[in-house]
Structure 1
């Protein structure tokens, strides 16, 4: 499993990397808008400084034609580093761009995936990650978990070197189901992942354990005090 966070908020990234087993950061223009950094490239460079080169960094293109997409990808790699995954929406032009980028050995995350055929085409074009939009597919009366299952079966059957990066979640249950249905990676907002710990039973269990300990050894006498 891979847990990736979908944000460019530096404070959130620092916190999540410190506390959770986070292996990467994803972004898109809407995510960037939520933070609105004045200097985009310096901001992304700071994210890289925080997460290091051992974690993945995914940055999305904004153009709609393949030629400009490729130019944008080159600019991103020049400004940040060659390890960045270029996020490319799976449109006709996007697929053309994915093929061109992979021919250069550039890492690609295929995004904005709503259908299994989009996913299959991105898979055959050479994408390293494919990001189906779980909640958005469901809102359109589709079955995102079926898509993930079918895609993972195809990846395994034909030995593609690609990972499913499930995205677009509204709750932690969807994250769990994505993993259960075959996604190897997920990207979610920090608030979604923090839902795991919004369970009063967790805090109560810790409080009960502490109460039992202090009842034996005295209030304020922890393991470091005996």
Structure 2
């Protein structure tokens, strides 16, 4: 089970990596727009410094033709490092680019997945991660969790070395359902992951425990004061 965050905000990344069991960072052009760094590659290198080599960094291409996608992927490797997972939209040209990049031994994340057969194409092309768009699939009237369950079964049955990286979340319930449907990883906004802890029952339980402690040993007297 992998928790990955979908952001390029440096302070948000620092905070999330410090507090949560985060194993990677993903981005796309729309996520980049929210922060709008002037030096894109310098910003990506700074993210790498924050998360270290042990966590995954996923950067999306802009090109739509296979040859140009591969060129942009090489630019990413040159400017950041060759450990980056290049996010390639799962289009007709994108699948061709995935095949080329995997033949070169590069890391590939297949993104913009809305359909099971689309996911199967990315799987057969050798993608390391496949990213179904959970909320967007649901908004189209389809079941993203059924897609994940079928894809997970295919990965296991055929022995593929690939992980489902569920994406596009609006709430904690969707994240939970994605894991339960067979996704090995999720990439979500930090705000969604923080919402896990916003249950008022959690705060009440902690307050009640502390009040019982202080009633015995005195206000503001913690374990380190004993």
TM range, normalised to the smaller chain? over 0.9
Give per-residue Cα distances to partners, 1:142-180, cap 9 Å, x unaligned. 110000000000000000000000000010100000000
Q: Which residue number in structure 2 is paired with residue 88 of structure 1?
A: 88
1:82 match: secondary structure: coil
Is structure 2 residue 64 aligned with structure 1 residue 64?
yes
Please give the residue correspondences for 1:24-173 in structure 2 after superposition, counting only pairs within 5 Å.
Answer: 24-173=24-173
In structure 2, what is the Cα distance between the partners aligned to 1:39 and 1:122?
31
Q: Which residue number in structure 1 is paired with residue 15 of structure 2?
A: 15
In structure 2, what is the Cα distance between the partners aligned to 1:98 and 1:221?
59
Q: What is the CA distance between 1:217 and its match in structure 2? A: 0.8
In structure 1, what is the Cα distance between the partners aligned to 2:29 and 2:224?
48
Give per-residue Cα distances to partners, 1:57-113, cap 9 Å, x unaligned. 000000010000000000000000010000000000000000000000000000000
Structure 2 unmatched ranges of 5 or more = none
**Count of residue pairs brought into register by the alignment:** 226
In structure 1, what is the Cα distance between the partners aligned to 2:199 and 2:158?
41
In structure 1, what is the Cα distance between the partners aligned to 2:19 and 2:34?
23
Q: What is the CA distance between 1:221 and its match in structure 2? A: 1.4
Q: What RMSD in Å do the two structures reach over aligned CA positions? A: 0.4
In structure 2, what is the Cα distance between the partners aligned to 1:109 and 1:163?
9
In structure 2, what is the Cα distance between the partners aligned to 1:180 and 1:7?
24
Q: Which residue number in structure 1 is paired with residue 224 of structure 2?
A: 224
2:87 match: secondary structure: strand
Give per-residue Cα distances to partners, 1:159-214, cap 9 Å, x unaligned. 00000000000101000000001000000000111110111111111110000001
Q: Which residue number in structure 1 is paired with residue 175 of structure 2?
A: 175
In structure 2, what is the Cα distance between the partners aligned to 1:9 and 1:100?
31
Q: Which residue number in structure 2 is paired with residue 195 of structure 1?
A: 195
In structure 1, what is the Cα distance between the partners aligned to 2:224 and 2:104?
56
In structure 1, what is the Cα distance between the partners aligned to 2:23 and 2:79?
22
In structure 2, what is the Cα distance between the partners aligned to 1:76 and 1:214?
55
Q: Normalising by structure 2, what TM-score?
A: 0.99
Q: What is the CA distance between 1:220 and its match in structure 2? A: 1.9
Moved more, 65-74 or 191-200: 191-200
In structure 2, what is the Cα distance between the partners aligned to 1:150 and 1:45?
36
Q: What is the CA distance between 1:219 and its match in structure 2? A: 1.2
In structure 2, what is the Cα distance between the partners aligned to 1:155 and 1:53?
26
After the TM superposition, which segments of 4 or more aligned residues of structure 1 sit over 2 Å from their partners? none
2:24 match: secondary structure: strand
Q: Normalising by structure 1, what TM-score?
A: 0.99
